[in-house]
Amino acid sequence: MTIPNLFSFATSELSQDAFICWFLTWAKSEHAAHDLSLHHCARQFITKIFLKHAKTVPSKITDIKVTKQDRHIDVLCVINNKYPIIIEDKTGSENHSDQLRRYVKEIEQREFNATDILPIYYKTEEQSCYSTVLEHGYQVFLRDEMIEVLEQYEGQNQILLNYRDYLIQITAKVKSFLHLPISEWGWHSWQGFYSCVKNELRDGNWDYIANPRGGFIGFWWHWLGDDKCQQYLQLEEEKLCFKIWVAEGESRTELRSYWHQIINKEAKAFTELDVKKPDRFGNGHYMTVCINSKDYRVINQDNTIDFAQTVKLLRSAEQLLNSVQPSI
């Protein structure tokens, strides 16, 4: 029987903020006598944050101040009145507007040395790209890194154990695409699949794409072309699409027709693909010009994915798109 887990119900970022504040507070020396293993885990969390910023943790930590939602900063932890750790905590959402820069600026105005500020972007769900996070000087702390810290705990504190198990459950869901029949994939399965495809192809990004039919999780990559029209590939869950982007002022109808015809013609040389016209053509800046007629995912006898063969098919789609590029 599965034991009820507090964090299966407390899934909001505010709940996670509370856990992080609680956990960091255990790093204070006065709490070591109550649960030494929990104290050591919290100290290890702080050490890893310092190492993320290529800094050495102070040999003696004499003061720790932890606050939540200080000027909208999710968690602020000041070590020895010198090192402010800014933790931007995200579950399923991503960074938005100018929040990351604002938080660092706020702490700089409190007369801390800029080189002593340690911004952390803590992410427990999947995210495709962290480039804007890194550009703002934040270091990324991922779910599996937190699990590694929490697995050092040897005690019986149910709050910590519940949180650790909750993170482990998320990881299991993300990896579920490897063993579930493809008809049973869910939100986390697609995220895990796209993340692995991105790592394998060393290209692309994925995210949720809203539309009137309810939306889907998409993955797009392999952009070619010029500033008038670009061609690229997109996975719309089980669909493999050949798409174009058309700049403002260019003839969408003509470019859509041209790229449909040339891709459809050249696809005959790629027997592993079965390219056809989409059910309907759009007329926006982004348009699908061809699709693979069947699910691109190659499966094993038990209907689980053959990941290596699936990636091989996606590389064939890349080669097809390469083959229709104009000679320079």
Residue 328 lies in a domain: no
pLDDT grade, residue 8 (50/70/90)?
A: confident
191 and 277 inside one domain? yes
Q: Which domain holds residue 270?
A: 179-323
68 and 28 inside one domain? yes
Give the pLDDT of residue 93.
66
Average pLDDT over residues 8-32: 92
Residue 42 lies in a domain: yes
Give the pLDDT of residue 137.
96
233 and 280 inside one domain? yes
223 and 116 inside one domain? no
Residue 264 lies in a domain: yes
Give the pLDDT of residue 11.
79
Residue 57 lies in a domain: yes
Residue 28 lies in a domain: yes
Write b or e for each residue in 250-259: b if 16 or more Cβ atoms lie within 10 A of its Cβ, otherwise e: eebeebbeeb
Cα–Cα dist 66/88, whole Å: 14
CB–CB of 180/300 below 8 Å?
no
Cα–Cα dist 68/18, whole Å: 8
Tens digits of per-residue pLDDT, 187-203? 999 999 999 999 999 99
Tens digits of per-residue pLDDT, 76-126? 999 999 999 999 998 766 666 688 999 999 999 998 999 999 999 999 999
166 and 18 inside one domain? yes
Contacts of 326 by beta carbon, 8 Å cutoff, 6+ apart? none
144 and 195 inside one domain? no
27 and 143 inside one domain? yes
169 and 183 inside one domain? no
Tens digits of per-residue pLDDT, 131-187? 999 999 999 999 999 999 999 999 999 999 999 999 999 999 999 999 999 999 999
Residue 158 CB-density burial (10 A; 0-12 exposed, 13-18 middle, 19+ buried): exposed
Instruction: Provide the number of structural domains found in the chain.
Output: 2
Tokens 């944050």 — which residue? 49
Q: What's the pTM?
A: 0.92
Give the pLDDT of residue 231.
98
